[in-house]
Structure 1
Amino acid sequence: MKNENLSYVKLENKKNIKVKYPKGIARRREERAFWIFVSPWIIGFVLFTGGPILASLFLSFTNYDVLTTPTFAGLDNYVKLFGDNLFYQSLKVTVYYVILSVPFTIILGLGLAILLNQKIRGQAFFRTMFYAPSVVSGVSIAFLWSWLLNPDFGVVNSLLSSIGIQGPGWFTDASTVIPSMVLMQLTSIGSTMIIFLASLQTLPDELYEAASIDGANHLTKFFKITIPLISPVILFNTIITVIASFQVFTQAYVITKGGPDWMSYFYVYFLFDTAFSQFRMGYASAQAWILFIIILGLTLLSLWISKKYVHYEYDNK
């Protein structure tokens, strides 16, 4: 007998009996189990991510110094921000860093991934060695590079002076502080490299074999096969790197404190200084939302431009 509202339970005596056990109860139990298992994430998101985001949006329209009750200020914080010289200075410094850092990270990360994709002895060791620094604390990395690039007793300048070259001031010179911080990215490209490496390992060998039969050299294979096939991964890494570059903070906080001559006064450092040195939480919240709008705009622009240059596997299906 068929009845969608009944479940059958097979007992040890091999007899099938009808049990009045609606399937709706089983479904509700599954739903309840689902919500129980995801509840830690939901609670964490509401308390530590979603809640603070909404709170910062509200505070951006207020004057709030932590110690007193917020007072509504309308758009005053945004008006003041666009008239603040430090806003433009911090944005200029950050954009300069992004322009140098993003191509450097993407090109070097892809180059390392191609090298580590070769079948050589000790392949696993080299992959681990290049990836490991990316999981080290940013503060530790900053202290390490501040010692390596110290103009007085640093290892790099000591090596340069041994061959008769006068080393630059690195972090103490306004003209080299940003390039020095971009150079510091050498220790942070492991995550970019490992994503590129994973994508390279999924490429079909048949395409390269066919190209070799047609007489294509390594450079042609790279630009005609490799780059188009991994273009979605290039887009992903580019967007992630742009977002991370706009949020640069640790290097300036640990090494330069925004100097020299405000040339490492990054936008997030400006936000941090406003919030936790001056306790102008309303003004800092407005800064945070402007940063969010900038990053969102750049991300959407990247996705729009990518429609012409990024090729997905399902495009020709």
Structure 2
Amino acid sequence: MADTAVARPGTVSRSGRSGSGERMRTRRPGARREALAAYGFIAPNYLLLLVFVLVPLVGAFFVSLQRTDGFGAGEFTGLDNYARLAGDPLFWRALGNTVLFTVLVTPLSMILGLVAATLLNSALPARPLWRSLLILPMAVSGVATALIGVLVFDQNSGILNRLLSAVGLSPITWQSDALPAFATIVLATVWWRTGFNMLIYLAGLQGIGPDLYEAATLDGANRLQRFRHVTVPLLGPTSFFLVVLNVIFSFQVFDIVFVLTGGGPGGATSVLVTYAYETGFVTRDQGYAAAIGMVLFVFALVFAAAQYRASGTKDVVE
């Protein structure tokens, strides 16, 4: 009876390599050339990132360690500018306004975007027209959006105050009182961001199979229950992405606030970026302004890192 060799798990063939290891060591011809070509295509992007992002970022950090007005050599002060932040009431007020702005704008724009996406994903008449109207604010810049807000909310000649006067109501002092001024930047930003959130949510809704809704309907779920138990959970990754994106945007808001209110009245609508701008280009304390910018960068970096870390676990709905 001929000897038979029985292969056991974990044994290596006579060639000294396992089958899986041999496959792993096999390199497809031309792979190195394709890799070099790929690196060549992305090299200009990395070069632009280095020149216009990383180099200015490092420069801003070194400026934040100095006392300088932007002219001539600055005086190195170490972490003094960061220590000033702890006792600066204007900084804390701007930070509080930024957080409040974020807390208001992010959920409002996302809820309105989800409602609009749900309606436009159904059999709504003239859907292309409504989609175009909601996406239209994305086609204009933040400055143009703020100028439209000025036409609407200006307390002297704005459209809204004229309508209030026409029906016999008292006009609202949009730019003179803190609460109405803050409401203007929130409303203008929500109008601007709703179209973007709607577009992302609409893409997520179109990826949900109709068989899930049919199964829920057969189980006796009504429209609201289908929305709550099918749509919302399956849009979890999309909602998480939009939360992070909207929070980062809200912390970096500048143009709408600068054009609509200029941070007034009395700093009531001042946010971190407008405060950094005033410190750096009005009072010419550019070292302190750079320190404010670095703090803002840390906030954005934390949220971006949260998005990157959780993206691997949020892509699959449990």
> Could you state the TM-score of these two structures normalised by the residue count of structure 1?
0.83
Q: Indicate the SS of the match to 1:171.
A: coil
C-alpha deviation, 1:26, in angstroms: 5.2
C-alpha deviation, 1:112, in angstroms: 0.9
Q: Does 1:313 align with 2:316?
A: yes
| Match in the other structure for 2:40 | 36
1:37-60 deviations in whole A, cap 9, x for unaligned?
A: 222212211110111112222222
C-alpha deviation, 1:255, in angstroms: 2.4
Q: Does 1:165 align with 2:165?
A: no
1:114-137 deviations in whole A, cap 9, x for unaligned?
A: 111112332122111210112202
Tell me, in whole angstroms, the C-alpha distance in 1 between the residues paired with 2:309 and 2:203. Answer: 25
Report if the CA contact (8 A) 1:100-1:182 is conserved. yes
Task: Structure 2: state its 5+ residue gaps.
Answer: 1-26
C-alpha deviation, 1:314, in angstroms: 6.3
| Match in the other structure for 2:178 | 174
Q: 1:24 to 1:234 in 2, by over 3 A?
A: closer
| Match in the other structure for 1:194 | 199
CA RMSD of aligned residues (A): 2.6
Tell me, in whole angstroms, the C-alpha distance in 2 between the residues paired with 1:110 and 1:188. Answer: 12
Task: Structure 1: state its 5+ residue gaps.
Answer: 1-22
Report if the CA contact (8 A) 2:185-2:260 is conserved. no
Q: 1:123 to 1:46 in 2, by over 3 A?
A: same
Instruction: Please give the residue correspondences for 1:62-141 in structure 2 after superposition, counting only pairs within 5 Å.
Output: 62-141=66-145
Read off the aligned partner of 1:37 and give its amino acid letter.
F
Q: Indicate the SS of the match to 1:263.
A: coil
1:82-126 deviations in whole A, cap 9, x for unaligned?
A: 111210111121122112111111111111111111123321221
> Could you state the TM-score of these two structures normalised by the residue count of structure 2?
0.83
Moved more, 39-48 or 119-128: 119-128
Report if the CA contact (8 A) 1:100-1:179 is conserved. no
| Match in the other structure for 2:276 | 271
Report if the CA contact (8 A) 2:236-2:317 is conserved. no
C-alpha deviation, 1:29, in angstroms: 4.2
Q: Indicate the SS of the match to 1:182.
A: helix
Question: What is the aligned-residue identity percentage?
Answer: 34
Read off the aligned partner of 1:147 and give its amino acid letter.
L
Q: Indicate the SS of the match to 1:189.
A: helix
C-alpha deviation, 1:294, in angstroms: 2.9
Match of 1:235 among 233, 236, 240: 240
Q: Does 1:280 align with 2:310?
A: no
Moved more, 221-230 or 274-283: 274-283
Tell me, in whole angstroms, the C-alpha distance in 2 between the residues paired with 1:169 and 1:195. Answer: 36
Read off the aligned partner of 1:225 and give its amino acid letter.
V
Read off the aligned partner of 1:111 and give its amino acid letter.
V
Report if the CA contact (8 A) 1:138-1:250 is conserved. yes
Tell me, in whole angstroms, the C-alpha distance in 1 between the residues paired with 2:268 and 2:247. Answer: 19
Tell me, in whole angstroms, the C-alpha distance in 2 between the residues paired with 1:84 and 1:128. Answer: 45
